[in-house]
Structure 1
Amino acid sequence: MLLQRNFLSLALAAGALSLASCNKGAGDFAKTQSGIEYKIFKNEGGKYSGREVAATGDATYKARMGKILALNVEYRTYKDSILFNSRKQQGLPMRIELQDVKIKGGIEEAIAMLQPGDSAIFRFNVDTIFAKSFKQPVPPFMKDKAATDKKAPSFMTMYVKAEKLQTRDEATADQQKQMEEQQKKMMAYAETQLKKDDVILQSYIQKNNLVAKKDPSGIYYVVTKPGTGAVPKQGQTVSVLYKGTLLDGKVFDSSEKMGNKPIDFPLGVGQVIPGWDKGIALLNKGTKATLLIPSSLAYGQRGAGADIPADAPLRFDVELVDVK
């Protein structure tokens, strides 16, 4: 998506920029009239130096309005836990259309202070920013403080590197080019990782004395109870009971956690991981089976949350309950 204005909502829905070179001798935070604390560093020939903004705002901002700013962003909680990192979680910079700042004290005003090439650290009082920018209560984890520091205000910290300023046409072309380059890198990485995963899965099969078949996609599957119904076709809705584990046996998700209710989804249209779209299509209605899925057909090099590491092959014990 080219234009992304609500940074924090994106970060919270998803769940580090290295500024060490900028922080040497940085001193205290400056503060805007609206209460944003900040440190901004301008890049001059590869060397960074501090830059303050006038109390009334950056006088040059009007000349940038209507253009697209590409930037990398990281959000951290009061206790320095990372909420979101655009480099790691998107692989591409965020792109923001710069518009008139209507809400002071929030993320829009902070971004308006940046010029291309700047690196910055912004610190927001969470009570203020949630009230002003998001019109909702502060999530409890954003206010998690040490017992000895209950009275201190909670902050959200935002690290930013402003990359470049572009017209809409320039930004669209640049984004398309970067997406194509990223796709090529991801495909090359997945091909290499698939070979590594295959060795791991074969070792797992041998160690656990499984009689498994291999699908051309790289999935291994073991039918533990044959079904007698039809094999689902692409686009049909299937109902599946499941338990997902890492190869060390750690359970990360299951139908049991959802009240033993099967999950329904249309097969082969990308609503689930590729390993499920391919693996469930191999089974008859009523079949119970074990699917061993390489990481490239699961959650890849990014993993999923705290439970599924990067490049993790997965095991799913499934039952194809129904085909609709």
Structure 2
Amino acid sequence: MKHLICILILAALISCEGPSPRHPVKRNTTSSIQVSIERSKKLLALEEAMIQQVIAKDSLNTYVNSDTGSWYYYNKKNQSANYMAQPDDLVTLTYNILTLTNDTIYSMQDVGILKYKVDKQEFFPGLRNSVKLLKENETATFLFPSSLGYGYPGDGDKIGINMPLKSTIAIVKIEKENDTL
């Protein structure tokens, strides 16, 4: 009986070890990230080819490639102005959104005239970048790959998944940030 009690006490002491930590399960996610990167590169190359086809068919306009990845031409250029919108400036503008085949998604009347605090309000990336390329009283037409438009989710309404866009942007007025203080 004495041996049985000793064995039970010894078993109880051994079983009272602290909890052993669980080790994390290692998952190799680099392969799925790499697949996503490759898919994005292929999509961008396809969209850029579509944009180049639009540019090649348009012999009336001279397109400029912006540093941010869009292409544009001026509909109306203001030779007398030299100031372009800077962060925190208040810009009055209007724009439309079309497909690359010129089907209207949102007209300028749908959008209306907007006031935009540069880099402080949410617009799609192409519009945010394009506003800083134009001067007061200038209008330009931009071609955006979907990554500069509404990307994978679209806008939840009329703009679909991964849709490259065409947009004419008109800058009505630029109020410098230090002028509004």
Compute the TM-score of the two structures, normalised by the length of structure 2: 0.69
Residue 189 (structure 1) shift: 4.6
Aligned to 2:104: 251
Q: Is 1:220–2:43 an aligned residue pair?
A: no
Aligned equivalents of 2:33, 2:131: Cα separation in 1: 26
Q: Indicate which of 181, 195, 201 corresponds to 2:51.
A: 201
Query: 1:305 — aligned with what?
Result: 156
For 2:159 and 2:141, the matched residues in 1 are separated by 18
Q: CA deviation at 1:306?
A: 4.2
* 1:256 alignment partner, SS class: helix
Letter of the aligned partner of 2:172 in structure 1? V
Instruction: Report the CA distance shift for 1:305/1:188 in structure 2 as closer, same or farther (over 3 A).
Output: same
CA distance in 1, matches of 2:141, 2:90: 20
Whole-Å separation in 2 of the counterparts to 1:256 and 1:193: 31
Q: How does 1:237-316 map to 2 (within 5 A)?
A: 237-258=90-111, 261-269=112-120, 271-316=122-167
Kindly provide the CA deviation profile for residues 229-279 of structure 1, in whole angstroms up to 9, marking residues without a partner as x. 320002212111212111122211133125xx4111122245101101111
The percentage of counterpart residues that share the same residue type is 21
Q: Which residue of 2 aligns with 1:233?
A: 86
Q: Deviations over 1:73-128 (max 9, x none)?
A: xxxxxxxxxxxxxxxxxxxxxxxxxxxxxxxxxxxxxxxxxxxxxxxxxxxxxxxx
**Once superposed, what is the RMSD of the aligned Cα atoms?**
2.6
SS in 1 for 2:133: coil
Kindly provide the amino acid, as one letter, of the partner of residue 312 in structure 1.
M
Which ranges in structure 1 are unaligned for 5 or more consecutive residues?
1-177
Q: Is the 8 A contact 1:246 1:315 kept in 2?
A: yes
The alignment of Structure 1 onto Structure 2 pairs a total of residues equal to 143
Runs of 5+ consecutive residues of structure 2 not aligned to the other structure: 1-28, 176-181
Structure with larger RCO (C-alpha < 8 A, sep 6+): 2
Q: What amino acid is the match of 2:95?
A: Y
Report if the CA contact (8 A) 1:194-1:218 is conserved: no
Task: Report the alpha carbon displacement of residue 183 of structure 1 after superposing the two structures with TM.
Answer: 8.9
Aligned: 1:317 with 2:161: no
Structure number, greater radius of gyration: 2
The verdict on how the C-alpha distance between 1:278 and 1:186 changes in structure 2, with shifts beyond 3 A counting, is farther
Task: Trace 1:1-324 onto structure 2 (pairs within 5 A).
Answer: 189-209=39-59, 210-227=61-78, 228-229=80-81, 230-258=83-111, 261-269=112-120, 271-324=122-175
- Tell me which amino acid in the other structure corresponds to 1:257: D
Consecutive aligned runs of 4 or more in structure 1 exceeding 3 Å deviation = 182-192
C-alpha displacement at 1:207, in angstroms?
A: 1.3
User: Once the 2 structures are TM-superposed, how far is the Cα of residue 188 of structure 1 from its aligned partner?
Assistant: 5.7
More strand by share: 1
Q: What SS class does the counterpart of residue 84 from structure 2 fall into? A: coil
Match of 1:114 in 2: none
Shift of 1:185: 7.5
